[in-house]
A and B are shown apart, each in its own frame.
Chain A
Protein backbone atom coordinates (compact mmCIF):
# COMPACT_ATOMS: atom_id res chain seq x y z
CA UNK A 1 0.00 0.00 0.00
CA UNK A 2 2.09 2.88 -1.24
CA UNK A 3 -0.18 5.51 -2.72
CA UNK A 4 1.59 8.13 -4.79
CA UNK A 5 1.86 11.67 -3.46
CA UNK A 6 -1.13 13.72 -4.61
CA UNK A 7 -1.00 17.17 -6.12
CA UNK A 8 2.02 16.62 -8.33
CA UNK A 9 1.44 20.00 -9.97
CA UNK A 10 2.53 22.20 -7.04
CA UNK A 11 6.24 21.87 -6.19
CA UNK A 12 6.79 19.95 -3.04
CA UNK A 13 7.98 22.09 -0.15
CA UNK A 14 10.69 19.52 0.53
CA UNK A 15 11.64 16.65 -1.73
CA UNK A 16 14.00 13.89 -0.69
CA UNK A 17 15.06 11.51 -3.47
CA UNK A 18 17.03 8.27 -2.96
CA UNK A 19 19.16 9.63 -0.16
CA UNK A 20 21.93 7.39 1.11
CA UNK A 21 23.71 8.45 4.29
CA UNK A 22 25.76 7.08 7.13
CA UNK A 23 28.80 7.49 9.39
CA UNK A 24 32.20 6.07 8.55
CA UNK A 25 31.71 2.53 7.35
CA UNK A 26 28.08 2.32 8.45
CA UNK A 27 25.21 3.13 6.12
CA UNK A 28 22.03 4.08 7.92
CA UNK A 29 19.81 5.40 5.12
CA UNK A 30 19.58 3.11 2.13
CA UNK A 31 17.89 5.24 -0.48
CA UNK A 32 15.11 7.17 1.22
CA UNK A 33 12.55 9.16 -0.74
CA UNK A 34 9.73 11.29 0.56
CA UNK A 35 7.86 14.50 -0.16
CA UNK A 36 6.56 17.19 2.10
CA UNK A 37 3.59 18.88 0.49
CA UNK A 38 3.51 22.65 0.73
CA UNK A 39 1.34 23.92 3.55
CA UNK A 40 0.70 20.47 5.00
CA UNK A 41 2.00 18.37 7.87
CA UNK A 42 3.87 15.26 6.73
CA UNK A 43 4.74 12.70 9.34
CA UNK A 44 7.67 10.30 9.38
CA UNK A 45 6.98 7.36 11.67
CA UNK A 46 9.51 4.84 12.82
CA UNK A 47 10.95 3.09 15.84
CA UNK A 48 14.12 4.07 17.61
CA UNK A 49 17.10 3.52 15.36
CA UNK A 50 15.02 3.34 12.18
CA UNK A 51 16.74 6.38 10.68
CA UNK A 52 14.44 9.33 11.39
CA UNK A 53 17.04 11.50 13.05
CA UNK A 54 19.66 10.51 10.48
CA UNK A 55 17.33 11.65 7.71
CA UNK A 56 16.81 14.94 9.50
CA UNK A 57 20.53 15.40 9.82
CA UNK A 58 20.90 14.73 6.11
CA UNK A 59 18.25 17.32 5.29
CA UNK A 60 19.61 19.97 7.64
CA UNK A 61 23.18 19.47 6.47
CA UNK A 62 24.67 18.07 9.66
CA UNK A 63 25.37 14.82 7.83
CA UNK A 64 25.89 15.34 4.10
CA UNK A 65 24.31 12.52 2.09
CA UNK A 66 26.50 10.19 0.12
CA UNK A 67 23.95 9.93 -2.69
CA UNK A 68 20.57 11.29 -3.64
CA UNK A 69 18.99 14.72 -3.94
CA UNK A 70 17.25 17.00 -1.51
CA UNK A 71 15.39 20.07 -2.72
CA UNK A 72 13.58 22.89 -0.98
CA UNK A 73 10.80 24.24 -3.21
CA UNK A 74 12.82 23.01 -6.15
CA UNK A 75 16.13 24.44 -4.94
CA UNK A 76 18.77 21.73 -4.39
CA UNK A 77 20.27 21.89 -0.92
CA UNK A 78 21.99 18.56 -0.35
CA UNK A 79 25.60 18.92 0.69
CA UNK A 80 25.40 22.59 1.64
CA UNK A 81 26.78 23.78 4.96
CA UNK A 82 24.19 23.45 7.74
CA UNK A 83 23.98 27.14 8.56
CA UNK A 84 23.36 27.89 4.89
CA UNK A 85 20.56 25.36 4.76
CA UNK A 86 19.04 27.05 7.79
CA UNK A 87 19.31 30.36 5.95
CA UNK A 88 17.70 28.83 2.87
CA UNK A 89 14.58 28.27 4.93
CA UNK A 90 14.74 24.94 6.75
CA UNK A 91 13.68 25.46 10.36
CA UNK A 92 14.92 22.65 12.57
CA UNK A 93 13.69 21.65 16.01
CA UNK A 94 16.17 18.91 16.93
CA UNK A 95 15.29 15.96 19.13
CA UNK A 96 16.61 16.88 22.52
CA UNK A 97 15.71 20.50 21.77
CA UNK A 98 19.29 21.76 21.98
CA UNK A 99 18.56 25.01 23.76
CA UNK A 100 21.16 27.38 25.22
CA UNK A 101 20.90 26.57 28.93
CA UNK A 102 22.29 29.80 30.32
CA UNK A 103 20.50 32.16 27.98
CA UNK A 104 17.05 33.58 28.58
CA UNK A 105 14.05 32.59 26.48
CA UNK A 106 13.89 36.00 24.86
CA UNK A 107 17.45 35.69 23.56
CA UNK A 108 16.58 32.36 21.98
CA UNK A 109 13.90 34.14 19.99
CA UNK A 110 16.35 36.92 19.11
CA UNK A 111 18.91 34.44 17.87
CA UNK A 112 16.34 32.73 15.70
CA UNK A 113 15.26 36.10 14.39
CA UNK A 114 18.69 36.64 12.84
CA UNK A 115 17.42 34.75 9.85
CA UNK A 116 14.21 36.73 9.63
CA UNK A 117 14.11 39.90 7.53
CA UNK A 118 14.21 42.84 9.99
CA UNK A 119 10.90 44.30 8.87
CA UNK A 120 9.08 41.08 9.68
CA UNK A 121 10.66 40.41 13.05
CA UNK A 122 8.23 42.27 15.28
CA UNK A 123 5.08 40.76 13.79
CA UNK A 124 6.61 37.29 13.67
CA UNK A 125 7.55 37.50 17.32
CA UNK A 126 4.03 38.56 18.21
CA UNK A 127 2.57 35.64 16.30
CA UNK A 128 4.97 33.15 17.85
CA UNK A 129 4.25 34.33 21.38
CA UNK A 130 0.50 34.11 20.70
CA UNK A 131 1.04 30.55 19.58
CA UNK A 132 2.86 29.70 22.82
CA UNK A 133 1.41 31.91 25.53
CA UNK A 134 3.09 29.80 28.19
CA UNK A 135 6.51 31.15 27.30
CA UNK A 136 5.41 34.72 26.72
CA UNK A 137 5.58 35.28 30.45
CA UNK A 138 9.01 33.70 30.80
CA UNK A 139 11.11 35.72 28.40
CA UNK A 140 13.74 36.49 31.03
CA UNK A 141 13.98 33.01 32.42
CA UNK A 142 17.07 30.94 31.66
CA UNK A 143 16.25 28.09 29.31
CA UNK A 144 17.98 25.52 31.48
CA UNK A 145 15.47 26.10 34.28
CA UNK A 146 12.35 25.48 32.21
CA UNK A 147 10.23 22.35 32.34
CA UNK A 148 10.38 19.83 29.50
CA UNK A 149 7.22 21.10 27.89
CA UNK A 150 8.28 24.73 28.09
CA UNK A 151 11.66 23.87 26.63
CA UNK A 152 9.98 22.15 23.71
CA UNK A 153 7.90 25.22 23.06
CA UNK A 154 10.95 27.48 23.17
CA UNK A 155 12.70 25.20 20.72
CA UNK A 156 9.79 25.38 18.30
CA UNK A 157 9.44 29.12 18.82
CA UNK A 158 13.12 29.64 18.11
CA UNK A 159 12.82 27.70 14.88
CA UNK A 160 9.70 29.63 13.91
CA UNK A 161 11.52 32.91 14.44
CA UNK A 162 13.88 31.95 11.62
CA UNK A 163 10.88 32.45 9.34
CA UNK A 164 11.28 29.03 7.79
CA UNK A 165 9.68 27.74 4.64
CA UNK A 166 9.69 24.19 5.96
CA UNK A 167 9.72 23.25 9.63
CA UNK A 168 11.39 20.01 10.72
CA UNK A 169 10.34 18.64 14.11
CA UNK A 170 12.19 15.68 15.54
CA UNK A 171 10.07 13.81 18.09
CA UNK A 172 8.56 16.85 19.81
CA UNK A 173 6.42 14.70 22.09
CA UNK A 174 9.33 12.75 23.54
CA UNK A 175 9.18 12.67 27.31
CA UNK A 176 6.28 15.09 27.60
CA UNK A 177 3.07 14.69 29.54
CA UNK A 178 -0.05 14.04 27.40
CA UNK A 179 -1.52 17.41 28.26
CA UNK A 180 1.61 19.17 27.11
CA UNK A 181 1.79 17.09 24.00
CA UNK A 182 -1.76 18.12 23.23
CA UNK A 183 -0.91 21.80 23.39
CA UNK A 184 2.15 21.23 21.21
CA UNK A 185 0.04 19.51 18.63
CA UNK A 186 -2.62 22.16 18.84
CA UNK A 187 0.04 24.69 18.02
CA UNK A 188 1.06 22.52 15.09
CA UNK A 189 -2.48 22.49 13.77
CA UNK A 190 -2.60 26.25 13.98
CA UNK A 191 0.67 26.39 12.09
CA UNK A 192 -0.75 24.18 9.43
CA UNK A 193 -3.74 26.46 9.15
CA UNK A 194 -1.32 29.31 8.64
CA UNK A 195 0.17 27.47 5.68
CA UNK A 196 3.43 26.21 7.20
CA UNK A 197 4.92 23.10 5.62
CA UNK A 198 5.95 20.69 8.35
CA UNK A 199 7.89 17.44 8.46
CA UNK A 200 7.33 15.72 11.76
CA UNK A 201 9.24 12.68 12.98
CA UNK A 202 7.45 10.60 15.54
CA UNK A 203 7.69 7.29 17.31
CA UNK A 204 4.14 7.15 18.55
CA UNK A 205 1.68 6.04 15.92
CA UNK A 206 -1.44 7.73 17.18
CA UNK A 207 0.09 11.06 18.10
CA UNK A 208 1.75 11.21 14.73
CA UNK A 209 -1.32 10.36 12.70
CA UNK A 210 -3.57 12.76 14.55
CA UNK A 211 -2.03 15.75 12.77
CA UNK A 212 -0.77 14.23 9.55
CA UNK A 213 -1.89 15.01 6.06
CA UNK A 214 0.35 12.23 4.84
CA UNK A 215 2.60 9.74 6.61
CA UNK A 216 5.69 7.71 5.79
CA UNK A 217 6.92 4.75 7.77
CA UNK A 218 10.65 4.21 7.94
CA UNK A 219 12.31 1.04 9.07
CA UNK A 220 15.99 0.13 9.00
CA UNK A 221 16.79 3.08 6.80
CA UNK A 222 14.11 2.53 4.17
CA UNK A 223 10.62 3.84 3.60
CA UNK A 224 8.34 0.82 3.81
CA UNK A 225 4.86 2.37 3.77
CA UNK A 226 3.28 5.64 2.91
CA UNK A 227 -0.22 6.99 2.64
CA UNK A 228 -2.86 9.14 4.24
CA UNK A 229 -3.73 8.51 7.90
CA UNK A 230 -7.02 6.92 6.88
CA UNK A 231 -5.27 4.45 4.61
CA UNK A 232 -2.71 3.58 7.26
CA UNK A 233 -5.21 3.30 10.08
CA UNK A 234 -7.32 0.97 7.99
CA UNK A 235 -4.48 -1.52 8.17
CA UNK A 236 -3.40 -0.86 11.71
CA UNK A 237 -2.00 -4.28 12.42
CA UNK A 238 0.47 -4.06 9.58
CA UNK A 239 1.49 -0.61 10.67
CA UNK A 240 1.96 -1.75 14.26
CA UNK A 241 4.22 -4.54 13.14
CA UNK A 242 6.36 -2.18 11.17
CA UNK A 243 6.66 0.13 14.11
CA UNK A 244 7.30 -2.74 16.48
CA UNK A 245 4.90 -1.36 19.07
Chain B
Protein backbone atom coordinates (compact mmCIF):
# COMPACT_ATOMS: atom_id res chain seq x y z
CA UNK B 1 0.00 0.00 0.00
CA UNK B 2 2.78 2.34 0.94
CA UNK B 3 4.45 1.66 -2.34
CA UNK B 4 1.32 2.42 -4.28
CA UNK B 5 0.92 5.63 -2.35
CA UNK B 6 4.49 6.57 -3.10
CA UNK B 7 3.98 5.80 -6.76
CA UNK B 8 0.84 7.89 -6.95
CA UNK B 9 2.51 10.78 -5.18
CA UNK B 10 5.55 10.42 -7.35
CA UNK B 11 3.59 10.48 -10.58
CA UNK B 12 1.54 13.46 -9.49
CA UNK B 13 4.66 15.25 -8.35
CA UNK B 14 6.15 14.46 -11.72
CA UNK B 15 3.17 16.08 -13.34
CA UNK B 16 3.90 19.21 -11.36
CA UNK B 17 7.49 19.13 -12.45
CA UNK B 18 6.44 18.88 -16.06
CA UNK B 19 4.71 22.19 -15.59
CA UNK B 20 7.97 23.65 -14.37
CA UNK B 21 10.14 22.36 -17.10
CA UNK B 22 8.29 22.52 -20.38
CA UNK B 23 8.60 26.27 -20.66
CA UNK B 24 12.35 26.02 -20.33
CA UNK B 25 12.44 23.12 -22.76
CA UNK B 26 10.72 25.19 -25.38
CA UNK B 27 13.13 28.05 -24.96
CA UNK B 28 16.12 25.80 -24.95
CA UNK B 29 14.94 23.68 -27.83
CA UNK B 30 14.31 26.60 -30.12
CA UNK B 31 16.89 29.09 -29.01
CA UNK B 32 19.53 27.01 -27.39
CA UNK B 33 19.67 29.18 -24.32
CA UNK B 34 19.14 28.11 -20.78
CA UNK B 35 17.07 30.80 -19.22
CA UNK B 36 18.55 31.31 -15.77
CA UNK B 37 15.66 33.59 -14.94
CA UNK B 38 13.18 30.72 -15.33
CA UNK B 39 12.85 30.03 -11.61
CA UNK B 40 12.56 33.72 -10.85
CA UNK B 41 9.62 34.08 -13.24
CA UNK B 42 7.88 31.10 -11.70
CA UNK B 43 8.44 32.42 -8.21
CA UNK B 44 7.31 35.96 -8.92
CA UNK B 45 4.12 34.68 -10.51
CA UNK B 46 3.54 32.40 -7.55
CA UNK B 47 4.13 35.15 -5.01
CA UNK B 48 1.80 37.45 -6.90
CA UNK B 49 -0.84 34.74 -6.88
CA UNK B 50 -0.46 34.33 -3.12
CA UNK B 51 -0.91 38.06 -2.63
CA UNK B 52 -3.94 38.13 -4.91
CA UNK B 53 -5.60 35.16 -3.29
CA UNK B 54 -5.08 36.38 0.25
CA UNK B 55 -6.09 39.96 -0.55
CA UNK B 56 -9.15 39.27 -2.68
CA UNK B 57 -10.12 35.82 -1.44
CA UNK B 58 -10.83 34.81 -5.02
CA UNK B 59 -9.71 31.59 -6.60
CA UNK B 60 -6.12 31.85 -7.69
CA UNK B 61 -6.99 30.01 -10.89
CA UNK B 62 -8.63 33.21 -12.09
CA UNK B 63 -5.15 34.57 -12.56
CA UNK B 64 -4.08 32.00 -15.10
CA UNK B 65 -5.31 33.69 -18.27
CA UNK B 66 -4.16 37.24 -17.44
CA UNK B 67 -0.79 36.10 -16.14
CA UNK B 68 -0.22 34.01 -19.25
CA UNK B 69 -1.07 36.86 -21.55
CA UNK B 70 0.91 39.49 -19.68
CA UNK B 71 3.95 37.24 -19.58
CA UNK B 72 3.61 36.56 -23.30
CA UNK B 73 4.02 40.23 -23.97
CA UNK B 74 6.71 40.83 -21.37
CA UNK B 75 8.63 37.76 -22.52
CA UNK B 76 8.55 38.90 -26.11
CA UNK B 77 9.83 42.34 -25.17
CA UNK B 78 12.60 40.92 -22.98
CA UNK B 79 13.74 38.61 -25.74
CA UNK B 80 13.87 41.43 -28.27
CA UNK B 81 15.79 43.75 -26.00
CA UNK B 82 18.13 41.43 -24.18
CA UNK B 83 18.59 38.23 -26.12
CA UNK B 84 18.06 38.96 -29.79
CA UNK B 85 21.24 41.08 -30.01
CA UNK B 86 23.17 38.02 -28.92
CA UNK B 87 21.36 35.61 -31.23
CA UNK B 88 23.57 36.33 -34.17
CA UNK B 89 26.61 35.11 -32.27
CA UNK B 90 25.58 31.48 -32.43
CA UNK B 91 27.53 29.17 -30.15
CA UNK B 92 29.78 31.95 -28.94
CA UNK B 93 26.77 33.77 -27.61
CA UNK B 94 25.67 30.82 -25.48
CA UNK B 95 27.63 31.87 -22.45
CA UNK B 96 26.71 35.51 -22.88
CA UNK B 97 23.07 34.44 -22.88
CA UNK B 98 23.69 32.73 -19.56
CA UNK B 99 25.06 35.95 -18.16
CA UNK B 100 22.21 38.08 -19.37
CA UNK B 101 19.55 35.77 -17.99
CA UNK B 102 21.56 35.51 -14.78
CA UNK B 103 21.38 39.26 -14.41
CA UNK B 104 17.71 39.25 -15.32
CA UNK B 105 16.99 36.66 -12.66
CA UNK B 106 18.28 38.95 -9.97
CA UNK B 107 16.24 41.87 -11.20
CA UNK B 108 13.15 39.69 -10.94
CA UNK B 109 14.14 38.25 -7.57
CA UNK B 110 14.70 41.70 -6.13
CA UNK B 111 11.29 42.75 -7.37
CA UNK B 112 9.82 39.76 -5.61
CA UNK B 113 11.73 40.51 -2.44
CA UNK B 114 10.58 44.09 -2.36
CA UNK B 115 6.97 43.38 -3.13
CA UNK B 116 6.42 40.18 -1.24
CA UNK B 117 9.18 39.78 1.30
CA UNK B 118 11.67 36.99 1.71
CA UNK B 119 9.60 34.41 3.56
CA UNK B 120 8.18 31.21 2.23
CA UNK B 121 4.52 31.46 1.42
CA UNK B 122 1.98 28.99 0.22
CA UNK B 123 -1.76 28.81 -0.24
CA UNK B 124 -3.64 26.48 2.02
CA UNK B 125 -6.62 26.12 -0.33
CA UNK B 126 -6.73 23.02 -2.37
CA UNK B 127 -4.72 21.28 0.28
CA UNK B 128 -7.60 18.91 0.89
CA UNK B 129 -6.91 15.26 0.51
CA UNK B 130 -9.23 12.76 -1.03
CA UNK B 131 -9.31 9.25 0.28
CA UNK B 132 -9.54 6.87 -2.63
CA UNK B 133 -9.49 3.19 -1.80
CA UNK B 134 -7.00 3.50 1.01
CA UNK B 135 -4.80 6.01 -0.78
CA UNK B 136 -4.50 9.64 0.20
CA UNK B 137 -4.54 11.82 -2.88
CA UNK B 138 -3.69 15.45 -2.52
CA UNK B 139 -6.11 17.62 -4.47
CA UNK B 140 -3.55 20.24 -5.31
CA UNK B 141 -1.15 17.69 -6.69
CA UNK B 142 -3.87 16.29 -8.85
CA UNK B 143 -4.78 19.70 -10.16
CA UNK B 144 -1.17 20.52 -10.90
CA UNK B 145 -0.51 17.11 -12.40
CA UNK B 146 -3.55 17.23 -14.63
CA UNK B 147 -2.77 20.72 -15.80
CA UNK B 148 0.82 19.72 -16.36
CA UNK B 149 -0.28 16.86 -18.55
CA UNK B 150 -2.72 19.08 -20.44
CA UNK B 151 -0.09 21.70 -21.09
CA UNK B 152 2.44 19.13 -22.26
CA UNK B 153 -0.14 17.52 -24.48
CA UNK B 154 -1.19 20.88 -25.85
CA UNK B 155 2.40 21.81 -26.49
CA UNK B 156 3.07 18.56 -28.28
CA UNK B 157 -0.05 18.93 -30.42
CA UNK B 158 0.79 22.49 -31.29
CA UNK B 159 4.37 21.74 -32.19
CA UNK B 160 3.67 18.66 -34.26
CA UNK B 161 0.30 19.30 -35.78
CA UNK B 162 -0.07 22.96 -36.52
CA UNK B 163 1.65 25.02 -39.16
CA UNK B 164 3.01 27.56 -36.69
CA UNK B 165 4.23 24.83 -34.37
CA UNK B 166 5.99 23.02 -37.16
CA UNK B 167 7.59 26.27 -38.22
CA UNK B 168 8.92 26.64 -34.69
CA UNK B 169 10.29 23.10 -34.66
CA UNK B 170 11.87 23.70 -38.05
CA UNK B 171 13.59 26.78 -36.66
CA UNK B 172 14.87 24.70 -33.77
CA UNK B 173 16.22 21.95 -35.98
CA UNK B 174 17.74 24.11 -38.69
CA UNK B 175 17.38 27.89 -38.78
CA UNK B 176 19.10 28.15 -42.17
CA UNK B 177 16.68 25.70 -43.71
CA UNK B 178 13.78 27.41 -41.99
CA UNK B 179 14.66 30.71 -43.61
CA UNK B 180 14.43 29.14 -47.06
CA UNK B 181 10.80 28.38 -46.27
CA UNK B 182 10.13 32.01 -45.57
CA UNK B 183 10.03 31.50 -41.81
CA UNK B 184 10.89 34.63 -39.86
CA UNK B 185 13.47 33.04 -37.62
CA UNK B 186 13.80 36.12 -35.45
CA UNK B 187 10.09 36.17 -34.75
CA UNK B 188 10.20 32.47 -33.96
CA UNK B 189 12.81 33.09 -31.34
CA UNK B 190 10.70 35.83 -29.85
CA UNK B 191 7.62 33.60 -29.86
CA UNK B 192 9.50 30.72 -28.27
CA UNK B 193 10.77 32.87 -25.46
CA UNK B 194 7.41 34.56 -24.97
CA UNK B 195 5.56 31.27 -24.76
CA UNK B 196 8.24 29.67 -22.64
CA UNK B 197 8.12 32.53 -20.15
CA UNK B 198 4.33 32.54 -20.17
CA UNK B 199 4.35 28.82 -19.41
CA UNK B 200 6.77 29.44 -16.58
CA UNK B 201 4.58 32.15 -15.10
CA UNK B 202 1.53 29.91 -15.38
CA UNK B 203 3.46 27.18 -13.66
CA UNK B 204 4.12 29.62 -10.84
CA UNK B 205 0.42 30.39 -10.43
CA UNK B 206 -0.28 26.67 -10.04
CA UNK B 207 2.78 25.79 -8.03
CA UNK B 208 1.98 28.11 -5.15
CA UNK B 209 -0.97 25.85 -4.50
CA UNK B 210 1.26 22.85 -4.14
CA UNK B 211 4.59 23.88 -2.69
CA UNK B 212 5.79 26.89 -0.74
CA UNK B 213 7.74 29.48 -2.70
CA UNK B 214 10.05 32.26 -1.66
CA UNK B 215 12.00 34.88 -3.52
CA UNK B 216 15.48 34.00 -2.26
CA UNK B 217 15.13 30.34 -3.26
CA UNK B 218 13.90 31.06 -6.77
CA UNK B 219 16.88 29.53 -8.45
CA UNK B 220 16.34 26.12 -6.91
CA UNK B 221 13.39 25.98 -9.29
CA UNK B 222 15.67 26.91 -12.17
CA UNK B 223 17.95 24.08 -11.26
CA UNK B 224 15.07 21.66 -10.89
CA UNK B 225 13.67 22.63 -14.27
CA UNK B 226 17.03 22.32 -15.85
CA UNK B 227 17.62 18.91 -14.35
CA UNK B 228 14.38 17.68 -15.88
CA UNK B 229 15.17 19.21 -19.22
CA UNK B 230 18.70 17.83 -19.20
CA UNK B 231 17.66 14.38 -18.04
CA UNK B 232 15.04 14.25 -20.74
CA UNK B 233 17.48 15.29 -23.42
CA UNK B 234 17.72 18.98 -24.05
CA UNK B 235 14.82 20.06 -26.19
CA UNK B 236 13.06 16.67 -26.14
CA UNK B 237 9.50 17.14 -24.87
CA UNK B 238 8.58 13.53 -24.35
CA UNK B 239 11.90 12.82 -22.71
CA UNK B 240 11.21 15.63 -20.29
CA UNK B 241 7.90 14.03 -19.31
CA UNK B 242 9.70 10.78 -18.61
CA UNK B 243 12.37 12.54 -16.63
CA UNK B 244 9.84 14.52 -14.62
CA UNK B 245 7.96 11.40 -13.61
CA UNK B 246 11.13 9.51 -12.73
CA UNK B 247 12.29 12.43 -10.66
CA UNK B 248 8.92 12.58 -8.93
CA UNK B 249 9.06 8.90 -8.13
CA UNK B 250 12.60 8.99 -6.84
CA UNK B 251 11.93 12.04 -4.70
CA UNK B 252 8.78 10.50 -3.34
CA UNK B 253 10.63 7.37 -2.34
CA UNK B 254 13.64 9.18 -0.91
CA UNK B 255 11.40 11.54 1.01
CA UNK B 256 9.66 8.63 2.63
CA UNK B 257 12.55 6.28 3.27
CA UNK B 258 15.21 8.80 4.12
CA UNK B 259 14.12 12.29 5.04
CA UNK B 260 12.46 15.39 3.72
CA UNK B 261 15.75 17.16 3.43
CA UNK B 262 17.38 14.38 1.50
CA UNK B 263 14.65 14.86 -1.06
CA UNK B 264 16.09 18.21 -2.03
CA UNK B 265 19.43 16.71 -2.95
CA UNK B 266 17.94 14.13 -5.29
CA UNK B 267 17.63 16.22 -8.45
CA UNK B 268 21.15 17.42 -8.20
CA UNK B 269 22.59 13.98 -7.56
CA UNK B 270 20.61 12.58 -10.47
CA UNK B 271 22.07 15.26 -12.67
CA UNK B 272 25.61 14.40 -11.65
CA UNK B 273 24.98 10.71 -12.20
CA UNK B 274 23.58 11.35 -15.64
CA UNK B 275 26.39 13.66 -16.56
CA UNK B 276 28.76 10.82 -15.96
CA UNK B 277 26.75 7.98 -17.37
CA UNK B 278 24.59 9.34 -20.17
CA UNK B 279 25.20 12.98 -20.90
CA UNK B 280 22.74 13.15 -23.74
CA UNK B 281 19.80 12.44 -21.47
CA UNK B 282 16.91 10.01 -21.66
CA UNK B 283 15.30 11.19 -24.83
CA UNK B 284 16.80 11.70 -28.23
CA UNK B 285 18.79 14.87 -27.85
CA UNK B 286 18.14 17.87 -30.02
CA UNK B 287 21.65 19.20 -29.67
Q: Do A and B come from one complex?
A: yes
Q: Can you give 24 A-B contacts (C-beta < 8 A)? A: A62-B176, A81-B184, A82-B179, A83-B182, A83-B183, A86-B180, A94-B176, A98-B174, A98-B177, A98-B180, A100-B173, A100-B174, A100-B177, A102-B284, A103-B169, A107-B166, A110-B163, A111-B167, A111-B178, A112-B181, A114-B182, A115-B181, A115-B182, A162-B180
Q: Which residues of B contact A (CB under 8 A)?
A: 163, 166-167, 169-170, 173-174, 176-186, 284
Chain A residues 72-95 with CB under 8 Å of chain B are 81-83, 86-87, 91-94
Question: Using an 8 Å CB-CB cutoff, how does the interface string of A97-117 with B read, 1 for contact, 0 for none?
Answer: 111111100010011101100
Task: Please tell me which one of the listed residues A87, A111, A162 contacts residue B170 in the complex, with CB atoms under 8 A apart.
Answer: A111
Q: Chain B residues near A98: list those with CB within 8 A.
A: 174, 176-177, 180
Q: Is A158 an interface residue (CB 8 A)?
A: yes
Other than A83-B179, A83-B185, give 11 A-B pairs with Cβ distance below 8 A.
A81-B184, A86-B179, A86-B182, A94-B176, A94-B180, A100-B169, A100-B174, A103-B169, A103-B170, A111-B170, A162-B182
- Determine chain B's interface SS by DSSP, over half rule: helix
Report if A159-B184 is in contact (Cβ < 8 Å); known contacts: A99-B174, A103-B173.
no
Q: Chain A residues near B173: list those with CB within 8 A.
A: 100-103
Total number of residue pairs linking A and B with CB closer than 8 Å: 71
Q: Chain B residues near A101: list those with CB within 8 A.
A: 173-174
Q: Chain B residues near A93: list those with CB within 8 A.
A: 180
A212 CA / B37 CA spacing, docked (Å): 55
Q: Chain A residues near B177: list those with CB within 8 A.
A: 94, 97-100, 158
A91 touches B180 (CB 8 A): yes
Interface residues on A, range: 20 to 34
Q: Which residues of A contact B (CB under 8 A)?
A: 60, 62, 81-83, 86-87, 91-94, 97-103, 107, 110-112, 114-115, 158-159, 162
Q: Chain A residues near B179: list those with CB within 8 A.
A: 60, 62, 82-83, 86, 92
Q: Chain B residues near A82: list those with CB within 8 A.
A: 179, 185
A99 CA / B174 CA spacing, docked (Å): 7
Tell me which of A87, A93, A114 has the highest count of chain B C-beta atoms within 10 A of its own C-beta. Answer: A114
A114 touches B167 (CB 8 A): yes
Q: Chain B residues near A162: list those with CB within 8 A.
A: 180-182
B176 touches A158 (CB 8 A): no
Name the residue of chain B whose CB is nearest to the CB of A87: B182
Smallest Cβ distance from A171 to chain B, in angstroms?
15
